[in-house]
């Protein structure tokens, strides 16, 4: 079952920033938050998306849902190009695509009851408040593991994990097909995080959902994903099924990322044993020439400074953008 | 002699609902050069423990209701604010999770490091500058002499945390308290900062108290581990023991709910429920409502820490009986 539900082709989002003096920068500059990215998400799968802060994960997630407009490139949903369709036509797709955010506190309107929060997407899409809507909301509440008496209560009366359940109920009430989970479990304590990860997996099975799972915790991503995409400074640098990418990563950045994950047992301490990449992630405003990873890459070659490597199939289902694998 | 002895520490806060204990009967010790990891979920009392040791909690609303902190033979709990200020810096230093909130945005990082040193040592301006550059070098800021005049916003999150560490180390403290020092950082930067802390311990022999909610950070750094839950220490052991032979049901749960980086698990083992707020803690064992081994007796009294195995203490009525063979 590998029918793509989402296909992104050459997708870019550039922001015009600056003009102010914050970084001593007077001239307006172009920030390439997402730069010519192509990939697919298959129906029913979970694609994990990882990379360091600021590499463009959230921007990419928002682009797929057309919450922001791409600078160039196309997005196909279920085989239909949705990049340039009008508002009315987009409405039909909107209900099939939802997003769950990191911050269970900020994402919910504190003045709305749980019932109104979950019903809102239904109402926006034409449902009348009443017995039928209430029934759907109650069903959703039960699905995410909250009691019906939660309906009349307000977000502040719930713990972080419960609020995330409310956010999930709201995202799922329209029975969407694609959910972008943007750091959906990142703010939660590990014991509660495990509850929500289990819930997301149960709901995926029950409702046939497709997930784009954005997170910075590599072990959570490994657990929940079928395939994983790695981003660095606006580019997707590697995509493979999860077993391959964790056991035999090809891109030096993916290798460094995995090597940096803390050991899960003191006998496997990494200090002095695993290679570290030096330095910080460069500014997205002024990314390095050629391969954007060349300033930190332990295998850098002259060609890397000049030419950007393209994302190519290195093995069946395993794509990587690096001159090492090109040769 | 232990460098730090914390005995029966209870810190209470005055709140709208009356006085509540943020931490209760917390006891532990720390030797020179030792790295003690304190792990627990958010709200378990890690930061309050650290801030009480540092004497940094505003009183009121905070109050040390019981217990004492003895550092280098001196009782800090009875010390005046002025004497306490002399301990901070050359005695105990602290770094926090969010370096931006503890750095002053309107002063250059060089000025801030020099001010910290000048508060404890009489040095000429030129020597202060030299020491500041030295410190930045030590924590791995490239071209330190050029970065000295930079402002905090001109640095990345990882560099700011390095600057914080440089400031904390500027007076050669005997004990460094690091409260979630890498929580706000990316993993590649986290690895660099953890390496740095370990290198500094090896080089200067200072003791480190590393506070985290991340078992991986504990596995990477700690010699000994304290597990906290709902304001209390529930288990203490050498790091290998905690991972190989956790004796408290909560510690076991914490280890089990983390997914693996190498193996497939069909489903995560979650701990049901959530950590109770201080004002709503259950009677008896604080973990009882979430514990799959709880018996009615568990809710009748609070289990105290008991030495069950060499160097391994645990606070659970059923620990002995549930311990693996
Ligand atoms: N509206 C905007 N205007 C200007 N720049 C933006 C805007 N939104 C995002 N950016 C920039 O685009 C880049 C990618 O940001 P994005 O939020 O997608 O990163 P991310 O990978 O989700 O990071 P994190 O892990 O911190 O959430 C960053 O450099 C960010 O500062
Ligand atoms: N200034 C304060 N006033 C009232 N309660 C506080 C204050 N600071 C912390 N607490 C409470 O003390 C408990 C422990 O907090 P803390 O030590 O910050 O937890 P941790 O660092 O483990 O996440 C929490 O329940 C918190 O709400
Ligand atoms: S292209 Fe060159 S610099 Fe980039 S990751 Fe590959 S080897 Fe490193
Ligand atoms: S004392 Fe009882 S409730 Fe508490 S951890 Fe032990 S078995 Fe569980
Ligand atoms: Mg983001
Ligand atoms: Mg804290």
Listed residues A154, A175, A196: the one ending a domain = A175
Contact between chains at B261 and A222 (C-beta distance less than 8 A): yes
Mean pLDDT of each 10-residue bin along chain A, 327 residues long: 88 81 61 94 97 91 95 96 91 92 78 94 87 91 90 88 91 95 90 93 96 95 97 97 96 94 92 76 87 95 96 95 87
A317 Cβ neighbours under 8 A, 6+ residues apart = A227, A240, A241, A244
What was the pLDDT predicted at A106?
73
- Residue A103 is assigned to a structural domain of this protein: no
Minimum-distance CB partner of A280 among B189, B198, B269: B189
Provide the pLDDT confidence category of residue B170 given band limits of 50, 70 and 90: confident
Mutation for B interface: A213, A266, A269, A282, most B CBs within 10 A: A266
A263 Cβ neighbours under 8 A, 6+ residues apart = A269, A270, B216, B219, B220
Mean pLDDT of chain B: 91
A81 Cβ neighbours under 8 A, 6+ residues apart = A74, A75
| Residue A185 sits in the same domain as residue A159 | no
What was the pLDDT predicted at A104?
63
Tell me the CATH number at A251.
Answer: 3.40.50.300
What was the pLDDT predicted at A224?
97
List C-alpha distances in Å: A229 to A99, A196, B55, B203, B325: 18, 22, 46, 40, 43
Q: How far is the CA of A257 from the centre of ligand 3 (A)?
A: 14
Minimum-distance CB partner of B270 among A23, A198, A262: A198
Edge-to-edge strands of the sheet including A28-42? A28-42, A4-18, A72-77, A80-81
- Residue A101 is assigned to a structural domain of this protein: no
| Residue A190 sits in the same domain as residue A147 | no
**Domains in chain B, start-ordered, CATH in brackets?**
4-229 (3.40.50.300), 230-325 (no CATH)
Please tell me the distance from the alpha carbon of residue A303 to that of residue A300, in angstroms, as a whole number: 8
Q: Specify the ligand 1 atom closest to the Cα of A58.
A: 22
Say if residues A67 and A244 touch (Cβ distance below 8 Å). Answer: no
What was the pLDDT predicted at A211?
98
Say if residues B165 and B196 touch (Cβ distance below 8 Å). Answer: yes
Give the angle B165-B170-B172 at the CA atoms, nearest 5°: 105
- DSSP-based helix, strand, coil % in chain A, nearest 5: 35, 25, 40
| Residue A197 sits in the same domain as residue A320 | yes
What was the pLDDT predicted at A1?
52
ipTM of the complex: 0.87
> Tens digits of per-residue pLDDT, B9-54?
999 999 888 899 999 999 999 999 999 999 999 889 999 999 999 9
User: Given ligand 1 and candidates A50, A58, A218, which is best to mutate, with the most ligand atoms within 8 Å of its CB?
Assistant: A58
Going by C-alpha positions, the residue among A138, A110, A137 that lies closest to residue A122 is A137
Global pTM reads 0.90
B143 Cβ neighbours under 8 A, 6+ residues apart = none
| Residue A222 sits in the same domain as residue A305 | yes
Under DSSP, is residue B102 helix (H, G, I), strand (E, B) or coil?
helix
> How distant is the Cα of A254 from the closest Cα of chain B, in angstroms?
11
Q: How far is the CA of B277 from the centre of ligand 6 (A)?
A: 14
- State the average pLDDT over residues B176-200: 88
| Residue A153 sits in the same domain as residue A185 | no
| Residue A39 sits in the same domain as residue A128 | no
The reply to whether ligand 4 has any atom less than 6 angstroms from the CB of B285 is yes
What was the pLDDT predicted at B200?
86
Please tell me the distance from the alpha carbon of residue A170 to that of residue A151, in angstroms, as a whole number: 12
- Residue A24 is assigned to a structural domain of this protein: no
Beta partners for residue A235, in sequence order = A232
| Residue A203 sits in the same domain as residue A165 | no
> Tens digits of per-residue pLDDT, B238-276?
999 999 999 999 999 999 999 999 999 889 999 998 888
Contact between chains at B213 and A190 (C-beta distance less than 8 A): yes
- State the average pLDDT over residues B293-318: 96
| Residue A81 sits in the same domain as residue A192 | yes
Provide the pLDDT confidence category of residue B99 given band limits of 50, 70 and 90: low
Contact between chains at A269 and B220 (C-beta distance less than 8 A): yes
What was the pLDDT predicted at A215?
93
Please tell me the distance from the alpha carbon of residue A5 to that of residue A44, in angstroms, as a whole number: 8
Q: Which tokens belong to A270? A: 């990494």
| Residue A191 sits in the same domain as residue A311 | yes
Contact between chains at A281 and B213 (C-beta distance less than 8 A): no
> Tens digits of per-residue pLDDT, B213-245?
999 999 999 999 999 999 999 999 999 999 999
User: Would you tell me which residues 204-223 of chain B have a C-beta closer than 8 angstroms to some C-beta of chain A?
Assistant: 213-217, 219-220, 222
The reply to whether ligand 3 has any atom less than 6 angstroms from the CB of A301 is yes
Q: What is the residue range of A134's domain? A: 110-175
What was the pLDDT predicted at A26?
53
**B180 in contact with A at a CB cutoff of 8 Å?**
no
**A275 in contact with B at a CB cutoff of 8 Å?**
no
| Residue A261 sits in the same domain as residue A125 | no
Beta partners for residue A239, in sequence order = A229, A319
Q: How far is the CA of A13 from the centre of ligand 1 (A)?
A: 10
- State the average pLDDT over residues B300-309: 96
B contacts of A274 (beta carbons < 8 Å): 191
Least confident of A7-11, B66-70, B141-145: B141-145
Minimum-distance CB partner of A191 among B186, B216, B254: B254
List C-alpha distances in Å: A116 to A134, A162, A165: 9, 16, 15
Please tell me the distance from the alpha carbon of residue A41 to that of residue B215, in angstroms, as a whole number: 32
Going by C-alpha positions, the residue among B311, B325, B315, B317 that lies closest to residue B239 is B311
- Find the radius of gyration of the CA atoms of chain A: 21
- State the average pLDDT over residues B94-114: 84
- Residue A34 is assigned to a structural domain of this protein: yes
CA A297 to chain centre: 25
Q: DSSP for A34-57?
A: EEEEEEEEETT-EEEEE-STTSSH
B232 Cβ neighbours under 8 A, 6+ residues apart = B23, B24, B25, B26, B45, B286, B302, B315
Q: How far is the CA of A32 from the centre of ligand 5 (A)?
A: 15
A278 Cβ neighbours under 8 A, 6+ residues apart = A296, B192
Count Cβ neighbours within 10 Å for each residue of B197-218 and write b for 16 or more, e otherwise.
Answer: bbebbeeeebbbbbbbbbbbbb
- Residue A154 is assigned to a structural domain of this protein: yes
What was the pLDDT predicted at A156?
86
- Residue A191 is assigned to a structural domain of this protein: yes
């Amino acid at each position: 079952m590998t029918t793509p539900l989402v296909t992104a082709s050459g997708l870019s989002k550039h922001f015009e920033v600056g003009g102010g003096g914050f970084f001593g920068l007077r001239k307006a500059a172009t920030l390439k938050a997402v730069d010519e990215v192509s990939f697919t998400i298959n129906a029913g799968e979970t694609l994990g998306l990882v990379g360091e802060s600021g590499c463009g994960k959230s921007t990419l997630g928002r682009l797929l849902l057309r919450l922001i407009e791409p600078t160039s490139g196309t997005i196909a949903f279920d085989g239909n190009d949705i990049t340039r369709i009008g508002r009315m036509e987009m409405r039909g797709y909107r209900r099939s695509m939802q997003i769950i955010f990191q911050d269970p506190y900020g994402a919910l309107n504190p003045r709305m009851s749980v019932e109104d929060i979950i019903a809102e997407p239904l109402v926006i899409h034409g449902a009348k408040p009443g017995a039928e809507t209430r029934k759907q909301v109650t069903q959703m509440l039960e699905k995410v593991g909250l009691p019906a008496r939660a309906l009349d209560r307000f977000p502040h009366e719930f713990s972080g994990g419960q609020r995330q359940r409310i956010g999930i109920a709201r995202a799922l009430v329209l029975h969407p097909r694609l959910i972008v989970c943007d750091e959906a479990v990142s703010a939660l304590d590990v014991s509660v995080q495990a509850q929500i990860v289990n819930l997301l997996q149960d709901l995926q099975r029950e409702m046939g959902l497709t997930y784009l799972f954005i997170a910075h915790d590599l072990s959570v991503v490994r657990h929940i994903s079928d395939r994983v995409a790695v981003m660095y400074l606006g580019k997707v640098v590697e995509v493979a099924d999860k077993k391959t990418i964790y056991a035999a990563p090809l891109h030096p950045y993916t290798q460094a990322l995995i090597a940096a994950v803390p050991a899960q047992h003191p006998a496997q301490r990494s200090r002095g044993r695993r290679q570290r990449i030096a330095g910080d992630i460069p500014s997205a405003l002024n990314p390095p020439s050629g391969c954007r990873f060349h300033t930190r890459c332990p295998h850098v070659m002259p060609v890397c400074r000049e030419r950007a490597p393209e994302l190519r199939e290195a093995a069946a289902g395993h794509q990587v953008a690096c001159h090492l694998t090109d040769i | 002699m232990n460098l730090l002895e914390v005995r029966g520490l209870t810190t209470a806060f005055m709140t709208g609902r009356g006085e509540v204990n943020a931490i209760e009967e917390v006891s532990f010790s720390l030797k020179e050069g030792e790295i003690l990891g304190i792990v627990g979920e958010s709200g378990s009392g890690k930061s309050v423990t650290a801030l009480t040791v540092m004497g940094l909690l505003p009183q009121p609303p905070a109050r040390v209701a019981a217990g004492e902190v003895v550092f280098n033979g001196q009782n800090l709990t009875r010390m005046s604010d002025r004497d306490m200020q002399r301990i901070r810096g050359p005695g105990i230093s602290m770094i926090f999770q969010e370096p931006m909130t503890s750095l002053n945005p309107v002063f250059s990082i060089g000025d801030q490091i020099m001010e910290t040193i000048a508060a404890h040592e009489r040095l000429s301006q030129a020597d202060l500058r030299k020491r500041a550059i030295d410190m930045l070098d030590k924590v791995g800021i490239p071209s330190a002499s050029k970065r000295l005049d930079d402002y905090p916003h001109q640095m990345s999150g990882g560099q700011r945390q390095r600057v914080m560490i440089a400031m904390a180390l500027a007076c050669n403290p005997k004990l460094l308290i690091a409260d979630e020092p890498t929580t706000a950082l990316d993993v590649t930067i986290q690895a660099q900062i953890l390496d740095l802390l370990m290198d500094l311990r090896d080089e200067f022999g200072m003791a480190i108290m590393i506070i985290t909610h991340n078992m991986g950070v504990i596995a990477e750094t700690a010699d000994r581990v304290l597990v906290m839950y709902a304001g209390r220490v529930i288990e203490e052991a050498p790091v290998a023991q905690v991972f190989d032979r956790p004796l408290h049901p909560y510690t076991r749960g914490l280890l089990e709910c983390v997914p693996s980086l190498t193996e497939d698990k069909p489903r995560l083992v979650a701990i049901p429920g959530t950590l109770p707020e201080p004002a709503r803690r259950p009677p008896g064992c604080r973990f009882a409502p979430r514990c799959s081994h709880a018996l009615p007796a568990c809710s009748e009294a609070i289990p105290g820490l008991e030495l069950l195995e060499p160097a391994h203490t645990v606070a659970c009525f059923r620990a002995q009986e549930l311990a693996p063979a």
